[in-house]
Structure 1
Amino acid sequence: MRKIFLSIALTLAVSPSFAQWAGKEYVVEEDAQVLEKLDEWQDLKLGFFVHWGAYSVEGLCESWPVVSEDVEWLTPHENLKEFREHYFDLPKQFNPTKFDPAKWANLASDMGAKYFVFTTKHHDGFTMWDTKQTDYKITNPEYPYAHAKYADITGSLFDAMRKKDMMIGAYISKPDWHSPYYWSPSFESPGRNVNYKIERHPDWWKKYTDFFYNQVEELMTNYGDVDILWLDGAWADKANRGQDMGMDRVGAMCREKQPGIMVVDRWVGGRWENYRTPEQHIPAEAEAIPWETCMTVNCCFSYRFEESVETNVKEARDLTHKLIDIVSKGGNLLLNLGASPEGWFNKAEVEVVEDMGAWLKLNGKAIYSTRAVEPYAEANVRYTQSKDGKKVYAIVMLEEGEQPEKAMLSGCLVAKDAVITDVATGKQVTFSQQGNSTLVDMPKKKGTAQYAVAFEISKVEKMAGKSFGKSQAAIDADNRNL
């Protein structure tokens, strides 16, 4: 395998101390099925990400309140031991009686998402499928939701999303704070890491890695076609305290069970990080490797009760602009909503993603199945190109109430015999050449359509002063030869 060495600056929501995970090596995968899947995934552009678990009962910051770390985004508990006992009992209150996987799938489709990633298990170890490895699971007969129609939540969601032709991603945490072989009851648990010395207790660590392997194998075996294994908890890595999760073994099993599956051992680098996942952050420049930004609609990944998030929900215009910016740089957006204890989402968050979806329904041709093209961005304009490299899309992002008469495409010289159309309507628009730039007449828009105006340009002579026309296949070939 050829290797690309990159210094990736990641902004990580969970801890600024994770700067140590930046600058990891990226290995260009040579498995033809994986490369084909990666190419298809890069066509999709928008994913629907959901954090959901027993922590949503109290609107907690996912699993993190059980960790004793002095970080600014956690409120410490005076009696952490007592709180942990309370926390790990939350599944006894978790009864999402309003959960309807078909309704979730409809929302994903309405927002314009093309793939779905679900937290099958977060760091607290509570498993949202019918695992045979632990009783700490949604289908435990002692828990109230165990006998519901959709008790195997992961399976019901994956089935519903496939009916909408979604790619399926299984998020699972590598660390498991409920497992006695990760957090041994023999010792205190001062932080997120394994709480014993692995070299002194190799039998415990083997039991833990076998447990993890077996849970992943269940997901790969019993839940239909899975396209992405999305791994979280980068600190569970052999480079940190010897926490070797046996990723070669895990990855090989996944590829045997699910040929072509993309494995995302995020922030770790190497063979099993098929694409990069900056968190709550959009890179300043286009990246040469596959990547997605995972980002929340409000301030947090997990559910927050309505009154605490209303002022933090991103506006639909802002989300749309973020998506456009990400796509222009060659990335995907994995957009997260946290589900409520009842099994739905905050009204304000649903409204903004549906509004973004309304814009995509009209302008998706400039987003889906496109690739990056220099100069990517200039002022309020973003560029994309068709995969065959024959057409360019210029997307003019507008602020509320903004209705300019014309837009200057400073990085794009349109051929005199070209045709420019408004993507949303298919109507031809008038343009003129201005030196090495193009001046385009702007159509008037209202409502969600006014977030941005996308133009399809049939023929371009120059982009940012360079001759245009190199196909994506040629660009990909160049990248593989780096």
Structure 2
Amino acid sequence: MKKLLIFIVALLSAFGAQAQWKGKEFVLDPDPLVQQKLKDWSDLKLGFFVHWGAYSVDGMCESWPIVSEDVDWLTPHKNLKEFRKYYFDLPKKFNPVKFNPEQWADLAEDMGAKYFVFTTKHHDGFTMWDSQLTDYKITNPAYPCSKLPKADVTKYLFDAMRKKGMMIGAYISKPDWHHPYYWSPSFESAGRNVNYKVERHPDWWGKFTDFWLGQIDELMSNYGKVDILWLDGAWANKDNQGQDMRMDEVANICRSKQPGIMIVDRWVGGKYENYRTPEQWIPSESQDKIYWESNMTVNCCFSYRFEDSPETNVKSGRELIHKFVDVVAKGGNLLLNLGASPQGWFNPEEVKSVKNMGQWLHKNGQAIYATRAIAPYAESNIRYTRSKDGQKVYAIALLAENEHPSKVMLPGCLASKNAKLFDVATGKRLSFSRQGNATLVNVPRKKGTDNYAIAIEINGIEKMAGKSYGKSQHAKDAENRNL
């Protein structure tokens, strides 16, 4: 019953996210540095996302339990005022003594991730860096976490991930439910939004947004090269109760300190949503004309859950690979989330799944990294990608557990008579036959994580999706907006 409820919640969230996806026009940023950064980012394909904060102490949902909204996926506590006090005091118990940023970076590398996004501050306002603008932070001397050798976790994580050659993303929430000029103590909170009328109290709103801009400046000035500013809390925007987050000023700070940085004002649309971020779902059709990234969880939720939690529902390495390949075939990236524990590590089953995923990627990554989408994208259990120069096409057969085919049919993909086909994982040449507008490939038997999917390299295509695929078509595909 619990898993059914989780599924229903995920379904409802997906429907809401899809409405956001379809309702806004994608605007490509005119800044050439941003455009180049987007192209580079789209080569990376897999990102490592981590939600971590004091909420991990109790293994609870991040931030949302303190909201006074009776929504489908969250029911407020009966005594919300008392619970909020308890929640905001969680940093007094937060002491991640096992935190090791180099170990996190090793895990990111093992799973095959090429960029990293960290929740520097969620909606609850607890700041995971040494901000000079608030005491509600991980380095506050009143909290035990401040005594850690590497208490400024944002700094040390960013440094460790950069040493692995990763792009760096700073997630930060636009609303801040701990700040007295977002949720003013003069009024009860009415929900996720600011709890007063901005037009009546412009001085309050000005103080809050000054604080907001100051924290953005800290992240952009003091934490090395940052490639992505990943903003959450879409309801905080000037069209909703006048919550003007001064995005032009945000962009000026970011671009002056971090030229070319991608700004992701998610679900708001316009010039500061440099790429789209569907949450916990994958588009049913290809979206290869825009930049986008599905952000998904390995477990049921974004924040940490204890191993014996009834909510625990860890995706297997096979399931992760299948979702990832589907995303890439449709033109997107995958930002894969793990919730960190109160000690500073991760659920062992989740670690096992992402490492198994990485084992497959380390052998078959040629069919994934730095590729682009190509029609027919997805047919039955087959997903297609192509090299950026259009010279190679990759077909990836997604295999069920205990499925060991000796032949794989590639519908919509007709290899030329003199084509050369290879098993990507081993480099061994594969024999094939042509069947109408499809190709039948003889494939080797796979074992272990190799059996998640079979990636096939095709050098020489006659038709894709019924379309002739000569040299001119190779060139056209390579020029496909260079996405």
TM range (shorter): over 0.9
SS in 2 for 1:415: strand
Correspondence list, 1:303-382, <5 A: 303-308=304-309, 311-382=312-383
SS in 2 for 1:215: helix
What amino acid is the match of 2:480? I
On the 8 A contact 1:12/1:280 being kept in 2, the answer is: no
Task: Report deviation, 1:448.
Answer: 0.2
- 1:24 counterpart residue number: 24
Q: Distance between the aligned counterparts of 2:122 and 2:29, measured in 1?
A: 27
Q: Which runs of 5+ in 2 are unaligned?
A: 1-9
Correspondence list, 1:177-196, <5 A: 177-196=177-196
What amino acid is the match of 1:74? L
Matched, 1:406 2:411: no
- 1:77 counterpart residue number: 77
Distance 1:20-1:34 versus aligned 2 partners, 3 A rule: closer
- 1:427 counterpart residue number: 428
On the 8 A contact 2:129/2:137 being kept in 1, the answer is: yes
What's the TM-score once normalised by structure 1's chain length? Answer: 0.95
On the 8 A contact 1:162/1:168 being kept in 2, the answer is: yes
What amino acid is the match of 1:341? P
4+ residue segments displaced more than 3 Å: 10-22, 470-473
- 2:5 counterpart residue number: none
Q: Distance between the aligned counterparts of 1:334 and 1:309, measured in 2?
A: 25
Q: Distance between the aligned counterparts of 1:214 and 1:462, measured in 2?
A: 55
Structure 1 residues 347-387: Cα deviation after superposition (integer angstroms, max 9, x where no partner): 00000000000000110000000000000010000000000
SS in 1 for 2:462: strand
Q: Distance between the aligned counterparts of 1:434 and 1:14, measured in 2?
A: 38
SS in 2 for 1:306: coil
Q: Distance between the aligned counterparts of 1:281 and 1:302, measured in 2?
A: 17
- 2:279 counterpart residue number: 279
- 1:164 counterpart residue number: 164
Q: Distance between the aligned counterparts of 2:349 and 2:267, measured in 1?
A: 32
- 1:457 counterpart residue number: 458
Task: Report deviation, 1:26.
Answer: 1.6
On the 8 A contact 2:372/2:388 being kept in 1, the answer is: yes
On the 8 A contact 1:419/1:458 being kept in 2, the answer is: yes
Task: Report deviation, 1:304.
Answer: 0.7
What amino acid is the match of 1:470? A
Distance 1:392-1:20 versus aligned 2 partners, 3 A rule: closer
Coordinate RMSD, CA, aligned: 1.6
Task: Report deviation, 1:309.
Answer: 5.8
Task: Report deviation, 1:200.
Answer: 0.2
Distance 1:392-1:460 versus aligned 2 partners, 3 A rule: same
Matched, 1:234 2:241: no
SS in 2 for 1:278: coil
Q: Say which is worse superposed, 112-121 or 410-419, in terms of deviation.
A: 410-419
Task: Report deviation, 1:308.
Answer: 1.3
Q: Distance between the aligned counterparts of 2:158 and 2:149, measured in 1?
A: 15
SS in 2 for 1:390: coil
Q: Say which is worse superposed, 157-166 or 69-78, in terms of deviation.
A: 69-78
Task: Report deviation, 1:69.
Answer: 0.6
Q: Distance between the aligned counterparts of 1:321 and 1:114, measured in 2?
A: 18
Task: Report deviation, 1:13.
Answer: 3.6
- 2:475 counterpart residue number: 470
Distance 1:181-1:283 versus aligned 2 partners, 3 A rule: same
SS in 1 for 2:375: coil
What amino acid is the match of 1:373? I
What amino acid is the match of 1:103? Q
On the 8 A contact 1:294/1:336 being kept in 2, the answer is: yes
Distance 1:21-1:11 versus aligned 2 partners, 3 A rule: farther
- 2:148 counterpart residue number: 148
Q: Distance between the aligned counterparts of 1:237 and 1:206, measured in 2?
A: 14
Task: Report deviation, 1:161.
Answer: 0.4
Q: Distance between the aligned counterparts of 1:448 and 1:369, measured in 2?
A: 22
